[in-house]
């Protein structure tokens, strides 16, 4: 089980970290939530029956932890400051532009209502509509509707 846990975190850790960032306001909270997610995955692994892929299983756990985190923070509305982003690109101008775009996108995603924020974040992690539906407890058509509405909201927010 320990090997399975290590393999899952190695393969999905960066994506889970990005998912945690969409539910939090700063890097410290993100790291705390990530630890909660990792612990929850560790505890849930013995009960994994294989009804879904391992990736879907752990992202469902991460999504549920993220929702619980938000429920604990009753006044979560938007992020006041973008998370510090480290870009390994050598060109400072390109790096700055990339960081600014990412920060703007992350802020815009964080301003979305929770039901849209969750599906957008999972979609950005490369999840299919089927996987998102399973993780978020929605129908595939509802996932499509939420993604379309979220894209419109993001487009509008980023144009301002």
Q: How many CB atoms lie within 10 A of CB 16?
A: 24
pLDDT at residue 90, rounded to an integer: 53
pLDDT at residue 71, rounded to an integer: 85
Distance (Å, whole) CA 74 – CA 53: 32
Say if residue 71 is exposed, middle or buried (CB neighbours under 10 Å; 0-12, 13-18, 19+).
Answer: exposed
pLDDT tens, position by position, 45-71: 999 998 889 999 999 999 999 999 988
Whole-structure pTM value = 0.64
Q: Where are the domains of the chain?
A: 1-76
Q: What CATH number does the domain located at 1-76 have?
A: 1.10.1740.10
Q: How confident is the model at residue 103 (pLDDT cuts 50, 70, 90)?
A: confident
């Amino acid at each position: 089980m320990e090997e399975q846990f290590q393999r899952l975190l190695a393969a999905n850790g960066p994506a889970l970290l990005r998912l945690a960032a969409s539910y939090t306001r700063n890097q410290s909270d993100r790291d705390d939530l990530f630890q909660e997610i990792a612990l929850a995955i560790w505890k849930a692994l013995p009960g994994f029956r294989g009804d879904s892929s391992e990736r879907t299983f752990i992202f469902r756990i991460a999504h549920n932890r993220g929702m619980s985190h938000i429920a604990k923070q009753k006044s979560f509305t938007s992020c006041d400051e973008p998370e510090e982003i480290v870009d390994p690109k050598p060109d400072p101008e390109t790096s700055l532009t990339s960081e600014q775009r990412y920060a703007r996108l992350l802020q815009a995603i964080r301003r979305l209502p929770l039901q849209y924020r969750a599906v957008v974040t999972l979609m950005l992690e490369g999840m299919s509509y089927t996987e998102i539906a399973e993780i978020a407890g929605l129908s595939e058509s509802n996932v499509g509707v939420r993604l379309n509405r979220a894209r419109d909201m993001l487009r509008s927010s980023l144009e301002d």
